[in-house]
Structure 1
């Protein structure tokens, strides 16, 4: 007990001037999280099998690296306050599980909460922040998702800063994913605290709906997209707006899944899979492993897209990219197919954030549509029919 108290005192002292670990999340983090498909029904075999599937299905090679355990892994704290995993669900312990995930060339993430209890009613980290961070470091954890349940009376800035300092003092680089739901506008203050912060409440696998519960709501893809207005200027390498985990493969149509994935990529949100990788249909795997879409998300410039034009049910989004390239998405939000007849030269595209612009009257860009592989250039109108709840996603490169 005395040794534990000494360690905590030293950690608290070391954390007095701590900063988050730099060099993590230079591009939006990519991985998988257990919650969307399994909620509390988790165990170590599921995590091992998911790590195996991530490698076998080519997702690791596509860039996904974190295997994240969400809520309900917890057992109890011992007499010294040290947290232990549920022995029935994780009989080998977290260190052995982390070692297994690492042996696959992947990284392990874990979940906690600012409150005394997590959203699922398990032990949170309040009052044990430094102790928990030390425990996670000893286990070999690489990623900490930190939730906002049981937070009444807490300062969001204070609670998240405390855990950031605890992680830093523990000495192991761990990506700090803040799941504060956007309640306290973390984009305004969290750049130096977390590597990403949630901008909204939880996602729900639907196109444009809102599922209301007694004390919170879950949002469809379009609802979350609309809540990103005005936030892009806060994101960049090492600090991302998190639009929540992906619902691709969770019950929407294939067109909706493609649009969902493309929009998260365009807005530089973390790409955290939420489906069951062990039984993933090939169509879903093709969407999630599309290297061209992932490259747009992982572009080193790190600037999210913005909506530069709306015409009826069509929205036009542009993302400036490194090496003078651009990505352009044409989103059909509506319920009917839409005919597209877009004159590139009629629209001057200018971005206040990146200070980049395109004048298609002066420069011609070659484009390629990343889902179909079709190509063309901006000297001619872009003509296509866009299915409802679907998106065209083009990558543009100026002619030499």
Structure 2
């Protein structure tokens, strides 16, 4: 069990950045540590947490911070680079069906290629294993790459599932083509079928699971308070974006971008705008390498924070608190900045508090306590 005191947590993370509109910043409290490069966290109704480790392990964490043994039944993953066991989500009706969804880099059978896959399984009654495992989505085509898997899962209010998919880095031009899943946001039913109202259903040469396209590598997605899906995606060298993906719309990668090639030089047409391609709601230059994304809907931190958007930064090691007004970003505040820990995931828990995962060999699940 790993449950350091609040004092040690403050020594590790530093004091949260002050804000002129918050009387006292929340304090970080380590729920558990000893996680190896954790990637995603889900909340169970009994107060436990389910955490994935990129190497291919899934663990239960008790409410008191006790770290359980790895669950049995996790399928093989293509661990390495940016690949491995990635996001996890508990079904909205988990109390009745004990169903989980998780995405991972799926190795090609008998070959060197891989791709993002989404699995459905049930947590056993004793919490020791996954049962009735089924792959409900598998990205096509498989690619020989260790990069850009995307892999955030969101359950929409209508019960469908959104899954973000990277363009695998070496195949960026495929993000503009509808005959593949590279650089796409897909929407599927919980049995893996494409809903009839998806925008490309029945269109020749287009895959029916596709919701939107022209994406690069999204590691953050969440529902806004009004039920709309928001997502962010990594830019190349600059140009990370926040988007509100609309059905059938093209988000431009790699034709237009606010970033540039690594080492310099234009990408695509060297433009930031083009007719028929959407502009981001917000973008970052330089890149912050965003991962994890959550809206705060509770009032646990006061009125000034309610409705704010939170995004983790891998590159600079902070949690970005984003103020919005009329659908636009009006201010950003850096939290957890002094710790310089890579923030991989951020979610609001059932208790209305924010939780973050740090992507390190001794990764931590951290709760932000209102002071």
Fold in common (TM above 0.5):
no
TM-score by length of 1: 0.25
Normalized per residue, which structure has more strand? Answer: 2
Q: TM-score, normalised by structure 2?
A: 0.26
Return the structure number with greater helix share. Answer: 1
